[in-house]
Structure formats: C-alpha cells, structure tokens
C-alpha cells in the first residue's frame, strides 16, 4: 500500500506543476537549462496488478538523445516495453520537471499501449553525467536510469 501512495504522491506532484509555465531547454538561445547529450541505460516499467497488488517489472536497454535545440529521440531496445520516438522537450528547472512531446504519439495512439512512449511530464535529476527520469500513474511506474556517453 505504501508503494501505491508513493505513486499517487508523484502523480499529484507532476499534475500540480503541469499548469506552471515551462521554460525551453535552450532558453531562447541562452545557456542550457537542462540535460543535453547522448545517454544510455535502462528503462524499468513497473505495473501494479490491481487484482492481487503484485508488482510486475520489465526492463529494456534504451538510448536517449537530448539536443540543445530541445529535440529528443529514443532508441535502443524498442521491441518490448519502450516505443521508439522523437519530438521536443521542455524543462521546468526549479521543479525538475521535464516534459516530452513525442510526435509519434497521435490522437489515435491508445493510452494503454504495450510499448510505452516517452511522452508527457516526468520528474528528473541530472548531475552532469547521470540522468534519472521518473514518472508514475495509478498502476504504472516509469524509471529511466541513464548515463551520458
């Protein structure tokens, strides 16, 4: 039950910040306000089964490219749980929220697809080398642990 409340807390935090204005990563030509570069690591998807409350975990090795002009692309092992994608992103630096707008997601893309898109708001931390991206909903947790290469 504690895990479920942690998911809900993270979701409420993300939704509360979504209404705040987001700052472009390149700040209109100024210095970078967020992570940039090529990253690789693991994407872990945790699903809580609502019937028995068991946690199902799946992991994939992924790559993420974040450019100074605020574009991104996701690659790597996109055969099972992570969908390939690309688009733009914004960073709300004071709140450590990174929001991805994946252009491969359309109005016809089902919300509960087996392969997850890096799309929407996520919490993140970045120390110049390591990038951690985290998101959660009622029954899902998204966890990207990436290193710059």
In this prediction the pTM is: 0.77
96: how many CB neighbours lie within 10 A of its CB? 16
Q: Domain spans of the chain?
A: 2-148
Residue ranges of E strands in 49-84: 55-66, 71-76
124 pLDDT tier (thresholds 50, 70, 90) = very high
Into which CATH architecture does domain 2-148 fall? Beta Barrel (2.40)
Among the listed residues 121, 119, 123, the one whose alpha carbon sits nearest the alpha carbon of residue 102: 119
With pLDDT > 90 as the criterion, what percentage of the chain qualifies?
62
pLDDT tens for each residue of 48-93: 888 888 899 999 999 999 999 999 999 999 999 999 999 999 999 8
8 A C-beta contact, residue 41 and residue 62: yes
Distance CA 88, CA 24 (A): 10
8 A C-beta contact, residue 63 and residue 38: yes
pLDDT of the residue at 33: 62
Average per-residue pLDDT for the chain: 83
User: Is the model more confident about 26 or about 6?
Assistant: 6
């Amino acid at each position: 039950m504690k895990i479920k409340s942690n998911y809900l807390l993270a979701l409420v935090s993300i939704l509360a910040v979504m209404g705040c204005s987001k700052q472009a990563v390149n700040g209109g030509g100024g210095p970078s306000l967020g992570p940039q570069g090529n990253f690789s690591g693991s994407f872990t998807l945790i699903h809580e089964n609502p019937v028995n409350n068991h946690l199902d975990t799946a992991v994939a090795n992924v790559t993420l490219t974040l450019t100074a002009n605020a574009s991104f692309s996701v690659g790597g092992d996109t055969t099972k749980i992570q969908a390939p994608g690309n688009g733009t992103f914004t960073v709300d630096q004071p709140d450590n929220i990174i929001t991805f707008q994946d252009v491969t997601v359309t109005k016809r893309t089902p919300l509960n697809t087996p392969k997850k898109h890096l799309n929407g708001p996520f919490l993140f931390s970045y120390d110049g080398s390591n990038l951690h991206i985290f998101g959660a909903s009622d029954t899902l947790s998204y966890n990207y642990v990436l290193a710059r290469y």
